[in-house]
Chains A and B, each alone.
Chain A
Amino acid sequence: MSHADEGSLHAYLDGELTAAERAGLEAHLAGCATCRARLAEERDLVERARGLLAGAAPPEAALPPLRRTGGGGRGARPLPRWVPLAWAASVLLALGGGWMARGGTRAGAPETPGSIALDRAEPAGSGDSGIRADAPVEVVLRERDDAGAAGATTSDVTRGGRAAEAKASAAEERAAPAAQAAAPHAEAVGLAASAVANADERVTLTPVTIDSARAILGAAPVTIPGVPVRRIALGGPGIVVVEQALDATTVVQLYERRADAVREVEQDAVARQRAASEQPRPAGASERLARYVGALRVEIAGALGADSLSKLLGRVR
């Protein structure tokens, strides 16, 4: 055998030779001092390169939750994109007594009882449902950029378990409702309009089973009666998202968290709001931020035709 080439030596050091190649090389090395010396040199080189690269590595961080952001679509049927940048318009729709206000201002406090009719997926006996019945409900209507390409996805339907790995950050991200907005539909339907501002807001939606959701909430998640459930997902630590397809183009998301977790999240939201205060925000946005993170939050994504809207409102009333 002629002397080993450097490629083989590196592959040998990297553990990437086949068993046969390795045996051949080792046999040669046993009888060739030149190649043994070169092997030692190459080993030093490999180590030095590794060391240099290690000196230019990012800080080790805990595994963050997988965010669900829009990328390209799968084939011709992309999922709704939840990244605000992609939305043509956003409408915030407040339902329930004092929550209803016009022109972007809000009259009610979050404690004001909502009047929305929502059902538990299963009327479980663990019932803290009283809290939820009184919970303020926020409906966010979002217009999607790819209105034509709607359709339910089957691949995202509830799958078990690993969602529990999701940690931190997502809750705050989700909790920050975006800002004031100009929604053409809003006045037409007589709703309080506001806009989605924080363009960097990203959404985490990790599918979970109904059982996990129940474990997280301490009760079965709230659903809108008579609307097919598309999936149940984790929207952040302790936050369950139920996604229901109102029709082919409109998706409703109900965000729900344990009632006893609300206070904590509110504090988070306040901290976050402080942190974000250096960024320009429309006046009033920060106030809403703290207020909206209460119990339940409903989001609707889809191409919002007037009929979708009235259909929804009909459903909700």
Chain B
Amino acid sequence: MSTVTSRWAPPGPLREWFGRHQSISITLLTMIAAGVLPFIALVPPFSSFGTQRDWVDGFANAGVYMLLALGLNVVVGFAGLLDLGYAAFFAIGAYTYAFGASPFSGLHLPFWFMLAMGALVAAMFGLLLGAPTLRLRGDYLAIVTLGFGEIVPIVFLNADNYTNGTNGIGGVYTPTLLDYTYRVGDPWPYYVTMAVILAAVMILLYRLQDSRLGRAWAALREDELAAASMGINTVTTKLLAFAIGATTSGFAGVFLASKLTLVSPTQFGFVVSFTVLAMVVLGGMGNIWGVAAGAFIIYEVQTQGLKQLNQVLQPLNLPVVSGIDWIQYQYLLYGLVLVFMMLIRPEGLFPSRRRRAELHEAGVEAAIPEVAAE
């Protein structure tokens, strides 16, 4: 199946080759993107906003959100389940690393081992939450996950004997690769590590999307009843979506904890789940490159765009526009993104072809009330 991955290549044998060797083409594209980005920071408009190091640091943080968006995309985009407590798995991943490698716990397990552990623990909690709740219908599931997303930070906040409560766990150890230890002020190693993790996750997700499981997700999303009658085990299939979706946020959590060297319950509130949802919706539910791009765009707008908008508009002394502090309007912006994308372009900026067909098919059905009834 030829996918977006190969579309950049000119038609002909080259495109065909890349279409067939997705893993190689994803690796290549990620390498190119990761190689080009730091240089963009040196180009005039961008170079005036911050040093190259600041930009690279920002890109590494953006990578955390890209991982989150990729994971949520498995749940929302592939399987069509709305998860509003996704930040909980992020928190679980981060705390797993803090428990495994910080003075607070007295342990210092290697980062790479903990990366796998964080993902594993997050996936286990995905299963734990999913097992009893996945029989629920879509909107009930959304509210249960929302409740779960609220409970997890409360537990981390209140179980202070184990989590150090509000203060969180500080002094988390940075990763070590062979003899080299990552330093907090130096974003480059983190940036490269993130690029590698992202490439690996994207390869995994592309393989999954076209696998038997990926097709089962699509079938389930399009018509659960039909999928079940065709012999798809709906519960296992949904559970796997939850677990695999949680895995990447486990990676994201471990990475963030090792980069900030601090975890605290306030980092994982509902706004995180909400922001990631906005990223997935903006990018295009179901499209792997799309949601990664959506996450990158929203993250950069949030951290750089709004700030620069202030800087550009304030000196102009325009009425109204110059007086506004645009950073304040961040969540309004996300809210509008969610509403307008759903109303105008539900398939997102970078649609998955299949999802677009589904979402627009519904519009056709609207003309026939009998079909639309359920």
A and B are partners in one complex rather than unrelated chains: no
